[in-house]
Amino acid sequence: QVERLYVLVGDRLDPTIPASTRAEWLADAVPAATIIVTPDYLPDANQPLADRALELLPERPTIAFTSEQWGAGWAEAIGARHVMVDLDRTRFPISSSEIRSNLREHYTWLVPAARAALAKRVVLAGAESTGKSTLAVDLANHYQTVWVPEYGRWYSDGRAGLKDRTWTADEFVRIAITHHQGEADLARRSANGLVILDTDALVTKVWHRRYLDSPNPILEELVDEFLPDLYFVCAPDFEWVHDGTRESPNYRDSMHIDTLQLIAATGVPFIELTGDQSKRLKEAIAVIDETVHSEPLI
């Protein structure tokens, strides 16, 4: 209906989500619109609000979209034709107050950028053949949300035919960055305020230490930047399964210890999971429900 669209975002100095952040989310959802943030300190009356809008807008609007009863009076005050948008909540059968009242239950009503930003991250860490991927799928199914597959596994499979399979430090950095990008993309579709990850940059660091045994400052920075809200460390206490990609069971114990020590140094809460897959899943669900899934998202 319009050639140019402007969206006004009121800033009431909300300490939970700054208006600038909400504006970024809206800009991501509606890239064709111009988002304008303004302090929201005016009285709830049409004329003061109209005067403020006219000060902010680069041109006088011809159409004003609202979904409020007061919208027609406000549109008249700025000299625009009013278009009521879904006043009866039939197209979008929920209000913003309902969403805020139970954010997890109504999480999928949020714009993708907000879903990605607010979701809690749970990482499954551990050595080879410790059930990380299986547990990630099971947790994602339980919480009806997304899980992020291990990019490093895909990358390792892709280089398996090389004659010289010596690893370089740059490869580990690229693995960490690409894995995080996959997380960022999938988090936009997350539900229930939760994202499950099969490994992360810290696990990539463990592999870097295993192969190169040398510092990697860039990887260290990525570990700090991408820290999750909770770690589960899967113990190597059941049979190692060779699947054509895995190398050897000989390093599982040492890598498990290294993983535990590195995670402990981050200060991020973690739980070591032992036993069969059923026991691990049950314990992981109990811990998530008591911690990240019960904490406020904002």
Q: Give 80-118 pLDDT, tens digit per residue.
A: 999 999 999 999 999 888 998 999 999 999 999 999 999
**Mean of pLDDT values over 234-238:** 91
What's the whole-number average pLDDT of the chain?
93
Instruction: Give the Cα separation of 103 and 184 in Å (integer).
Output: 20
* Confidence (pTM): 0.91
**Mean of pLDDT values over 249-255:** 82
Q: What is the pLDDT of residue 245?
A: 57
What DSSP character marks residue 264? Answer: H
What confidence tens digit (pLDDT) does each residue in 45-79 have?
A: 889 899 999 999 999 999 999 998 999 999 999 99
What confidence tens digit (pLDDT) does each residue in 166-186 have?
A: 999 999 999 999 999 999 999
φ, ψ for residue 36, nearest 5 deg = -125, 125
pLDDT exceeds 80 at position 150: yes
Residue 149's SS3 state is coil
What CATH superfamily classification does 107-290 receive? Answer: P-loop containing nucleotide triphosphate hydrolases (3.40.50.300)
- Maximum average pLDDT range among 193-207, 229-243, 250-264: 193-207
Q: What is the pLDDT of residue 164?
A: 96
Q: What is the pLDDT of residue 39?
A: 85
- Say if residues 25 and 9 touch (Cβ distance below 8 Å): no
Q: What is the pLDDT of residue 248?
A: 57
Q: How many CB atoms lie within 10 A of CB 138?
A: 19
The percent of residues above 90 in pLDDT, for the chain, comes to 82
**Mean of pLDDT values over 204-231:** 97
pLDDT exceeds 60 at position 243: no
Q: CA geometry: angle at 114 spanning 265 and 198, to 5°? A: 45
Domain ranges of the chain: 6-101, 107-290
- Say if residues 23 and 35 touch (Cβ distance below 8 Å): yes
pLDDT exceeds 70 at position 218: yes
Nearest residue to 181 (alpha-carbon basis) of 135, 122, 230, 222: 222
Nearest residue to 243 (alpha-carbon basis) of 128, 106, 151: 128
Residue 9's SS3 state is strand
pLDDT exceeds 60 at position 34: yes
